[in-house]
Amino acid sequence: MDNKKEIKEKIKSLSDKMINNMLDQRYDNDFTSWFKDELIAEKEKRKKHHHKMATDWNYAIKEHIKTGLESPIPYKVIPYKNGRGIKKIEFFKPIKNGSL
């Protein structure tokens, strides 16, 4: 089971082109059909994510805020009052002991 978890993590790091190339190959046994299903799921996940980010400001801003807080150099995203765009990005000042 750990092997499948590792494979899922590796699939997340693949480029879209690599996923498409792998999906073009033929698969015969159970494990490779599972692998193909995981590739298709990742492709659909990326497709939905990009579409949503491009068409829905509320979703995009929430994603940017989440990314900013998880970033190695954390930052805060400040949207416009109407929620249609990003007004400003503020970087957090590090505390002297090196942590947040």
Q: pLDDT (tens digit, 9 = 90+) per residue, 38-81?
A: 888 888 777 655 566 667 888 888 888 888 888 888 899 999 98
Tell me, rounded to whole angstroms, the distance of Cα 93 from its chain centroid.
Answer: 26
Query: pLDDT by residue (tens digit) across 69-78?
Result: 888 888 999 9
Q: Which helix (H) or strand (E) holds 79?
A: strand 75-79
Residue 77, φ and ψ in degrees, nearest 5: -100, 125
User: And the tokens for 31?
Assistant: 């494990």
Collect contacts of 69-78 with beta carbons under 8 A, ≥24 apart: 74/100
pTM of full prediction above 0.75: no
User: What totals of helices (H) and strands (E) does the chain contain, helices first?
Assistant: 4, 2
- Break the chain into its structural domains and give their ranges: 1-55, 57-100
